[in-house]
């Protein structure tokens, strides 16, 4: 036997011996039901969850907790019956009276096809959808057996569906927890009652993880939620923190030589613009990067308070508009559309969340999660707030706005069509608006409290 064949043989033998069954094929020993009352049974060596009315989400959970592991299993999902598998999941009396929460590998039969994405159940919602990994959308097959693989090693969480990688997430909120099989609540959808989700061949590996983890030949997009930190891959790809999470280094007031002495604060890794009654740039004023940028990918996490207005501007020229009001530049609008009157101004919604302010309307309402509000600042672990992620990609004249990884605006900032759009906007009196080769990046003080973190940039 050749050396290569011996290596493959022993590798396969090692992987096989490192995986142990979580389900004995006969009964539910080692498992317990949490959260709801949908029934789980064992039929012919298969765990069967049945959808019933009048119950919240029901989870069949391992009694043991797991930290670093590789989980493999097969699942069969019937039409319209949303499901998922929790991992490193939590259930504590102090959090929503014991409600199951945490990471969930989603099984999503809807038209958006986000099966294999990672959802933060009962907490932060979607952490990794499949909109930036469209090739993986068709990996999952309804009404068929599908194979799944979840790798949770350190703060890197990765998922495969039928051999296709669907998610690559970096997050450090939970490092250990139980595994749970979900029967999703069906609300008043009586037509779904009696449908089933099935699981079999559930195996876990907790040893020799580096040898057993999959080798990635063609990386998919990685999402990182490390607070004001870069992942190893982000560093390798050329990302840099635009704000270090601790100081004002690299920033100044848009109309100042230094950072504003009031109106902005830093607290618990968040950059906060103060509530000043909604007056535009009348308190601390806008802040801008000291450096100018041309082609780049910018990512910013933001948190709106009730009725708040702010914005992320780019190609800003701080020499323009030395008077009252905000500095001039292309703006990714940040707005509480439901409660701030500016959402109904402009034309056709072009002042709503994620729009190119007053110029191009974003298709953001369809995808933006409902924003719960709590005026008291609380830990992100408590789930009282939902952060949103803005992403702006500028490749010379081509620009894209993303909200929570959904492409909501796409435009070209050159040519006659662009100039016609500007002529119909409030920027019509600013010569060559938006056509500068480079400019500052700005966070707007519109007199409302807004929180920012995880501000990072990659120059293209």
CB-CB contact of 273 with 253 (8 Å): no
Give residue 323's pLDDT: 73
Whole-structure pTM value: 0.92
Give residue 6's pLDDT: 41
pLDDT in tens, 136-180: 999 999 999 999 999 999 999 999 999 999 999 999 999 999 999
Mean pLDDT of 43-66: 97
Give residue 16's pLDDT: 63
Contacts (Cβ under 8 Å, ≥6 apart) of 323: none
Taking phi first (over 0 means left), then psi (-120 to 50 degrees means alpha), and beta for anything else, what does residue 282 get? Answer: alpha
DSSP assignments along 54-123, one per residue: S---EEEEESS-BSSEEEEEEEEE-TT--EEEEEEEB--TTTGGG--BEEEEEE--STT--TT-EEEETT
Give residue 9's pLDDT: 43
Query: Over 80: is that where the pLDDT of 7 sits?
Result: no
- No. of helices (H) and no. of strands (E), the chain: 4, 29
Handedness of CA 162, 166, 170, 173 (dihedral sign): negative
Give residue 306's pLDDT: 87
Give residue 383's pLDDT: 42
* Alpha-carbon 254 to chain mean position: 30
pLDDT in tens, 68-92: 999 999 999 998 899 999 999 999 9
Strand partners, 388: 302
pLDDT in tens, 201-233: 999 999 999 999 999 999 999 999 999 999 999
Give residue 80's pLDDT: 87
DSSP SS3 for 313 = strand
CA atoms of 429 and 107, how far apart (whole Å): 51
H helix runs in 215-346, sequence order: 232-237
pLDDT in tens, 190-206: 999 999 999 999 999 99
CA atoms of 421 and 441, how far apart (whole Å): 22
The better pLDDT of the pair 186, 13 is held by: 186
């Amino acid at each position: 036997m050749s050396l290569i064949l011996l290596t493959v043989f022993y590798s396969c033998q090692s992987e096989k011996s490192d995986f142990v069954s979580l389900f004995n094929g006969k009964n539910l020993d080692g498992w317990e039901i949490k959260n709801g009352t949908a029934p789980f049974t064992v039929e012919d060596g298969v765990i069967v969850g049945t959808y019933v009315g009048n119950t919240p989400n029901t989870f069949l959970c391992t009694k043991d907790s797991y930290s670093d592991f590789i989980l493999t299993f097969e699942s069969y999902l019937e039409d319209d019956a949303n499901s998922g598998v929790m991992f490193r999941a939590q259930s504590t009396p102090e959090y929503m009276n014991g409600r199951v929460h945490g990471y969930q590998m989603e099984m999503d039969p809807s038209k958006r096809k986000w099966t294999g994405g990672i959802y933060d159940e009962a907490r932060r919602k979607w952490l990794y959808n499949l909109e930036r990994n469209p090739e993986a959308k068709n990996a999952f097959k309804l009404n068929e057996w599908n194979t799944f693989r979840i790798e949770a090693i350190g703060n890197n969480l990765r998922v495969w569906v039928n051999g296709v990688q669907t998610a690559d997430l970096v997050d450090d909120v939970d490092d250990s927890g139980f595994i749970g099989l979900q029967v999703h609540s069906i609300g008043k959808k009586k037509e779904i009652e009696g449908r089933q989700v099935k699981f079999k061949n559930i195996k876990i590996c907790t040893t020799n993880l580096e040898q057993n983890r999959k080798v990635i030949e063609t990386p998919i997009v990685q999402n990182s939620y490390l607070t004001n930190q870069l992942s190893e891959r982000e560093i390798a790809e050329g990302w840099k923190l635009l704000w270090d999470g601790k100081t004002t280094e690299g920033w100044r007031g848009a109309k100042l030589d230094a950072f504003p002495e009031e109106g902005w604060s830093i607290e618990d890794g968040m950059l906060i613009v103060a509530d000043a009654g909604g007056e535009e740039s009348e308190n601390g004023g806008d802040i801008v990067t000291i450096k100018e940028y041309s082609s780049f990918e910018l990512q910013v996490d933001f948190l709106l308070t009730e009725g708040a207005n702010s914005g992320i501007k780019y190609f800003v020229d701080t020499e323009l508009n030395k008077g009252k009001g905000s500095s001039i530049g292309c703006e990714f609008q940040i707005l509480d559309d439901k409660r701030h009157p500016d959402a109904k101004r402009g034309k056709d919604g072009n002042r709503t969340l994620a729009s190119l302010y007053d110029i191009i309307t974003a298709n953001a309402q369809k995808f933006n999660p409902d924003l719960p509000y709590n005026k008291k600042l609380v830990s992100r672990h408590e789930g009282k707030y939902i952060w949103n992620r803005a992403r702006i990609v500028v490749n010379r004249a081509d620009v894209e706005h993303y909200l929570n990884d959904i492409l909501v605006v796409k435009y070209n900032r050159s040519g006659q069509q662009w100039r016609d759009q500007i002529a119909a906007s409030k920027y019509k009196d600013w010569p060559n608006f938006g056509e500068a080769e480079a400019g500052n990046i700005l966070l707007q003080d519109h007199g409302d409290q807004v929180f920012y973190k995880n501000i990072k940039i990659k120059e293209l």
